[in-house]
Amino acid sequence: MARIIVVTSGKGGVGKTTTSAALSMGLALRGHRTAVVDFDIGLRNLDLIMGCERRVVYDFVNVINNEASLNQALIKDKRCENLFVLPASQTRDKDALTLEGVERILNELAETFDYIVCDSPAGIERGAHLAMYFADDAVVVTNPEVSSVRDSDRMLGLLASKSRRAELNQDPIREFLLLTRYSPQRVKLGEMLSVDDVQEILSLHLLGVIPESKAVLNASNSGNPVVIDDQSDAGQAYLDVVGRYLGEDVPHRFIEEEKKGLLGRLFGGKS
The pLDDT tens digits for 181-235 are 999 999 999 999 999 999 999 999 999 999 999 999 999 999 999 999 999 999 9
Whole-prediction pTM:
0.93
Check whether 271 has a pLDDT greater than 60. no
Nearest CA to 141 out of 162, 125, 156, 127 is that of 156
179 strand-pairing partners: 142, 209
Our CA dihedral for 52, 220, 4, 158, rounded to 10 degrees, sits at: -130
Q: What is the pLDDT of the chain when averaged over all its residues?
A: 92
pLDDT at site 262: 58
H or E segment to which residue 7 belongs: strand 3-8
* Mode of pairing for the β-strands spanning 75-76 and 83-86: antiparallel
